[in-house]
Amino acid sequence: MATRKLSRSHLFVICGLLTVLGVGRVIYKTTALGYSLRPGKQTSIWLVEAQVTFRATGGPVRVSLAAPGTSPGCKILDQNPAVAGYGDAKESVDGNQRVIWTTRQAKGRQTLTYRLQVYDAVGLRDFEPASAPPKPVFPAMERQIKTAAKEVLAEATKHSSGRLSFTGQLLRMMNRDSPSQAMKVLQAEPEYARSSVKLAIDLLAMKGIPARLARGVQLEDGKRRQPLEELLEVYTKRGWTLFDPISGKRGLPPRFVLWQRGGESLLDIEGGTKSRISISVIRNVLPEEDLLKIRSQSGRFGTGFLSIYSLPVSEQNIIKKLLLVPLGALVVVLMRNVVGLTTSGTFMPVLIALAFMETRIISGVILFVVIIAVGLVIRSHLTKLNLLLVPRISACVIVVIILMTLMSVLSYRLGLPQGMAVTFFPMIIIAWTIERASITAEEAGTWEAVKQVSASLLTALLVYLVITNRFVAHVTFAFPEVTLIVLAAILLLGTYTGYRLLELRRFEPLVKK
């Protein structure tokens, strides 16, 4: 039975509705909610998500997690510890904030999420005034370890003039490429091998200098499921001063949230085993006025229940890239239907452009050309075996995987970290590209295959330039309604049956006659 086709007017109506809906939503969000189309006019709001996972044993469960109270160097906009099926409360233990989750009965794998929104994360370069802590207790050490510690302390004292310079010198000694023999003895101890901050605290205690462990998270857009970072805090007469245990630099760096200061434990669980905590971070570009307090309070369409910002942070990072794909598809449609380029595969350039975002453009192009060229050579030998289609493509996929593995290992051995990024290329698409290019070379000649691969690479570069644009990345994520407008444009281009731009050149001699 023949399918009844809709008239072109129906298509125009659909495209008009999509455009009006998309443009209307953008206008509403810019005028009523304070969104800006210019990312430079907005304030960064960092959404930090701590995810606690463990296995409940079947009885009552009590989870206690250290949480930031007032973090110096940044401002906390909102905290949300609510988890379905658990009661939540906050309490202060020795001046540190903790979030408590409780439930009467739970069994199996459990996931608890604590969200934090911060802004104005400018860092802190000075000390923080505080009352004097108790004198540190001399750590218990074996004779050999104590002798090595005294030798390290004597060397650090010789090259310092006060508590702060002594701490900085001590941290530099701990992180030398070739540490002293005494330092090697200390760092070989299991408890010090696990935490260099623990070693620094014990050495400072032997000098009578109060020190404590601090934990925090570096605000990096796209960070997913990372552990909390450790810092060292040292007390002087003026107050507490933070040190980076790796570089020895003083002060709280920019875009760093202090999660815990002092205290013994980060996470305590009763009624559960195999616990783990991980941190995810995403940067949201939000209006400067009122810091989008209307975002958390409003239940209006698109800002509450259906908001992208309600998703977990790790999923938001994925959605951020997915929303760029429609624009890449629009570029491919323009290049194929309007310009007239013939690409290897319909949307292969979009996937290659997404891979370029991870590999960077120059190294990505080199890796793409090398793997396609080597793959075509190997594919030409497979042709002589007279294999059927599916086994041939499967063999091609395996060859691509072997090539990617060899290139990664070889790049690592040669000290070229850019080469290890080859694993970001979609192997199935690469294998299919090699297969199509090989068939084209057999049927239409090598030059035609080269033109198709070159056209695909050119289109991928154009897509890359579009989706890596700062303005485009901001608009697609802050205004996902733009996708409706892109869809309308693609539908309209689907009805274009005129000459391609490259075809006009073919008919140029007729026009001249």
Q: Which ranges constitute the DSSP H helices of 384-480?
A: 389-413, 427-444, 446-467, 470-478
Give the rounded percent of residues in the chain with a pLDDT score beyond 90: 5
Which pLDDT belongs to residue 309?
64
User: Are the C-beta atoms of residues 88 and 114 closer than 8 Å to each other?
Assistant: no
If one compares 393 and 288, the residue with the highest pLDDT of the two is 393
What distance in Å separates the CA atoms of residue 456 and residue 433, rounded to the nearest whole number?
10
Q: Which residue, 227, 224, 238, is CA-closest to 317?
A: 224
Could you tell me the pLDDT band of residue 21, with boundaries at 50, 70 and 90?
very high
Q: pLDDT at residue 425 above 80?
A: no
Q: pLDDT at residue 487 above 90?
A: yes
Domain ranges of the chain: 321-512
Which pLDDT belongs to residue 263?
67
Which pLDDT belongs to residue 295?
46
Rounded (to 5) percent helix, strand, coil in the chain:
50, 20, 30
Which pLDDT belongs to residue 123?
59
The amino acid sitting at 439 is I
Q: How many other CB atoms sit within 10 Å of the CB of residue 274?
A: 9
- Give bridge partners of residue 128 from the DSSP assignment: 240
If one compares 461 and 29, the residue with the highest pLDDT of the two is 461
| Helix, coil or strand: residue 116 | strand
Q: What six digits make up the tokens of 260?
A: 């815990």
For the residues 17-45, what does the mean pLDDT come to? 77
pLDDT in tens, 125-162: 566 667 777 788 888 888 888 888 888 888 888 888 88
What distance in Å separates the CA atoms of residue 177 and residue 384, rounded to the nearest whole number?
55
pLDDT in tens, 67-118: 887 666 677 777 888 788 888 888 887 777 888 999 998 888 998 988 888 8
Q: What six digits make up the tokens of 162?
A: 């006060």
For the residues 367-393, what does the mean pLDDT come to? 78
Indicate the burial class of 216 (C-beta count within 10 angstroms; 0-12, 13-18, 19 or more).
Answer: buried
Quote the longest CA-to-CA distance of the chain.
101
Please tell me the total number of residues recorded for the chain in this structure. Answer: 513
User: Are the C-beta atoms of residues 111 and 51 closer than 8 Å to each other?
Assistant: yes
Q: pLDDT at residue 256 above 80?
A: yes
> In sequence order, what E strands does 183-271 have?
211-218, 229-236, 239-243, 256-261, 267-270
